[in-house]
Amino acid sequence: MVGGIYFIEMPYSDFKQFKGRPVLVFRVIDKNDLLILPLTTNLKRDGIIITNSDIETGSLKKESVVIVPKLTAIDSSLISDKNIIATLKDITFKKILKDICQKFEC
């Protein structure tokens, strides 16, 4: 699960509308909650660009940006094995972790 990229219905920041988008599971908080990072194909967004060379299993349709500043908590019921797209390589996941720690000063 952690390090997996899943396709989910992601709420907009107003929580009134949703958009289907890929997300990276960053942390399991508890059995009900996960921390995720959304992905976008807008390569101009702030974050970390990933390509299929960063993928361990599965594939991406296009190069994408993991939007590091948009760390979000979601209910774990939104994630299931049926909507997994890919799994990141460990080295790529560690790069994202390092970037998050720099941005959030952890």
- Pairing of β 4-11 and β 84-88: antiparallel
Domains in the chain and their CATH numbers? 4-104 (2.30.30.110)
Residues of the chain short of pLDDT 50, as ranges, are: none
Q: Which candidate, 19, 98, 24, places its Cα nearest to that of 55? A: 24
Contact 56, 88 (CB under 8 A): yes
State the pLDDT at residue 12.
75
